[in-house]
């Protein structure tokens, strides 16, 4: 949908019943980052709501620029799928079109986001990695100054 179509969709809802607006779903929201920013600015201005992006963390590769500074004042939370602390395991799981550079790009993105976004969360899914790998993920998040969250497995 166009930005105008998205904005118009908000009129169908009582936005006071929601705690935040989340950019996520089928596909990577940063694929349309400029549109996302426009909608986030609209949400902030018209509804005064918090905003969150659920992302794979390679938006800077997708947009061929560091997009983290552009989130300042627009995005309240960035939730990044860390998936696995081991680069090779991460790559076999996500199969990014960016190949080997995607793991480091995701970590670099998280490091940049903590400078501009109040809440940066990195996630894995419960039962998909070992307790040792969870501890490694916690260490990565501690070094980045991001929150580590283990999401529940949902079928």
Per-residue pLDDT tens for 40-87? 999 999 999 999 999 999 999 999 999 999 999 999 999 999 999 999
Question: 90: which 2 tokens?
Answer: 């991460």
What does the mean pLDDT of the chain come to? 95
- Please give the model's pTM, rounded to 2 decimal places: 0.93
How many other C-beta atoms are found inside a 10 Å radius of the C-beta of residue 1?
10
113/26: higher pLDDT = 113
| Ordered strands of the 20-23 beta sheet | 20-23, 50-55, 77-81, 119-125, 147-151
Q: How far apart are CA 27 and CA 56, in angstroms?
A: 10
Q: What percent of the chain has pLDDT over 70?
A: 100
């Amino acid at each position: 949908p166009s930005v105008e179509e998205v904005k118009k969709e908000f009129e169908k809802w009582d936005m006071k019943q929601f705690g935040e607006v989340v950019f996520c779903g089928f596909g990577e929201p940063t694929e349309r980052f400029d549109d996302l920013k426009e909608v986030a600015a609209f949400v902030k201005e018209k509804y005064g709501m918090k905003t969150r992006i659920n992302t794979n963390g390679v938006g800077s590769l997708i947009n061929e620029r560091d997009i983290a500074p552009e989130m300042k004042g627009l995005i309240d939370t960035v939730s990044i799928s860390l998936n696995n602390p081991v680069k090779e395991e991460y790559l076999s799981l996500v199969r990014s079109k960016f190949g080997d550079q995607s793991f480091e790009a995701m970590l670099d993105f998280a490091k940049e986001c903590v400078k501009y976004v109040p809440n940066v969360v990195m996630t894995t899914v419960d039962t998909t990695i070992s307790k040792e790998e969870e501890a490694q993920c916690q260490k990565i998040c501690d070094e980045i100054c991001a929150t580590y969250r283990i999401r529940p497995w949902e079928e």
